[in-house]
């Protein structure tokens, strides 16, 4: 028994001969262990090569045929940081992401992470960004125009409250003029109050709201940044490819706007209502409307009901309609016979062609 205890206490040694009291079996076993340890020894370079794959620590340990605790011990021994992510500032990351999205405008979240990895930048999918601190509702509105459909003379303008993240307005128009943006802004101010600051891009369509804010709140009330938008619209491209839509033809453009402008705005209205009523987990699951209303003690009631059958006839008498010989009576007749929200089971394309035919008949009979 004493010999076994003595043998158990024998330390692994590089000696080529057994120690006093050590059996040949124990001596052989200790040298086998030493040999295995040498064979399994992982160099710092090998460890760094595996870590460069940016896999999980569990996967890295599996590749190296070691346990996770052993992997952590090696990281500590080699003084290698346990973080799998790059240390990069928000500004640097924003610049790189902006460049990627400019070169690849349709890139999604997964592909974006792939582009970052190809640049040896690995970040968490969700970053703990600095807190966006806004003291109260109407402290700042972020206003932007989306020009994805500008080819077809459609522009979407929107504004969001920085505190509550509530959409203040969101509407598609047939032009990008400053008076159009000013009208949307003025209507929102009348409903929700005037913000202390606004942030926009440098586009001239914002000129009138800059003047309005500076006159009311001072020079510092207007902040400017940059904005990039670009995307395809398959339905409209299809109409062009089929030879049905000619953007140089005023009749075609009017027909396009007559059918699709109300449809786009219906969708935007539904999106705005849904967005303003969605729960925000970081705000105690309160909605943007709740945050805005509680913050300003607004007493108005929110009406979630959406009217999907409203079409503003005056909006059809816009800048595009003056090129088409339709008077108010013709417009009313068109609206009665071809309703933009009518279901044609063809995504509105059949309604578009019917509108074209209606105007053609009017032109023939002039």
For 100, residues 6+ apart whose C-beta sits below 8 A from its C-beta are: 107, 112, 115, 116
pLDDT at 149 over 90: no
**pLDDT one-digit tens code per residue, 10-37:** 344 445 565 666 666 766 666 665 555 5
Domain boundaries along the sequence of the chain: 23-84, 85-124, 140-364
Could you tell me which residue, 243 or 234, shows the higher pLDDT? Answer: 243
Q: How far apart are CA 24 and CA 29, in angstroms?
A: 8
Mean pLDDT, the chain, rounded, equals: 76
pLDDT at 317 over 70: no
Contact 105, 231 (CB under 8 A): yes
pLDDT at 292 over 60: yes
pLDDT value at position 199?
93
pLDDT at 122 over 60: yes
pLDDT value at position 31?
63
pLDDT at 143 over 90: yes
Give CATH superfamily name and number for 140-364. Ribonuclease H-like superfamily/Ribonuclease H (3.30.420.10)
pLDDT value at position 119?
74
The string over 122-142, giving b where at least 16 C-beta atoms fall within 10 Å of a residue's C-beta and e elsewhere, is: ebeeeeeeeeeebeebbebbb
Confidence of residue 61 (pLDDT cuts 50, 70, 90): confident
Mean pLDDT of the region 146-163: 89
Contact 47, 64 (CB under 8 A): yes
**Residues above pLDDT 70, as percent of the chain:** 71
Q: How many other CB atoms are found less than 10 A from the CB of residue 88?
A: 15
pLDDT value at position 234?
65
């Amino acid at each position: 028994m004493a010999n076994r205890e003595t043998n158990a206490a024998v330390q692994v040694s590089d000696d080529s001969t057994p120690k006093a009291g050590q059996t040949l079996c124990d001596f052989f076993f200790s040298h086998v262990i030493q040999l295995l340890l040498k064979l399994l020894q992982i160099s710092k370079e090998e460890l760094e090569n595996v870590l460069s794959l940016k896999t999980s620590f569990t996967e890295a340990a599996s590749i190296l045929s070691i346990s996770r605790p052993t992997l952590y011990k090696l990281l500590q021994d080699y003084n290698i940081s346990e973080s799998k992510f790059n240390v990069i500032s928000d500004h640097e990351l924003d610049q790189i992401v902006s460049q990627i999205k400019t070169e690849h405008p349709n890139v999604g979240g997964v592909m974006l992470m792939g582009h970052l990895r190809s640049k040896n930048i690995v970040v968490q999918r969700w970053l703990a960004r600095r807190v966006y601190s806004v003291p109260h509702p109407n402290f700042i509105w972020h206003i932007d125009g989306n020009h994805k459909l500008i080819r077809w003379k459609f522009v979407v303008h929107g504004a969001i409250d920085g505190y509550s993240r509530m959409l203040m307005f969101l509407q598609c128009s047939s032009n990008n003029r400053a008076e159009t943006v000013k009208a949307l802004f003025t209507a929102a101010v009348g409903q929700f109050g005037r913000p202390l600051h606004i942030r926009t891009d440098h586009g001239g369509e914002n000129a009138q709201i800059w003047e309005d804010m500076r006159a009311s709140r001072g020079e510092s009330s207007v902040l400017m940044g940059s904005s990039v938008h670009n995307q395809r619209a398959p339905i409209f491209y299809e109409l062009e490819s089929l030879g049905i839509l000619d953007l140089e033809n005023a009749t075609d453009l009017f027909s396009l706007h007559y059918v699709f402008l109300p449809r786009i705005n219906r969708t935007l209205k539904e999106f705005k209502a849904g967005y303003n009523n969605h729960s925000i987990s970081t705000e105690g699951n309160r909605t943007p409307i709740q945050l805005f209303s509680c913050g300003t003690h607004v007493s108005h009631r929110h009406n979630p009901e959406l009217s999907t059958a409203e079409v503003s006839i005056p909006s059809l008498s816009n800048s595009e309609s003056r090129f088409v010989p339709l008077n108010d009576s013709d417009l009313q007749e068109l609206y009665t016979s071809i309703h933009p929200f009518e279901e044609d089971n063809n995504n509105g394309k059949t309604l578009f062609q019917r509108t074209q035919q209606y105007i053609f008949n009017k032109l023939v009979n002039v």
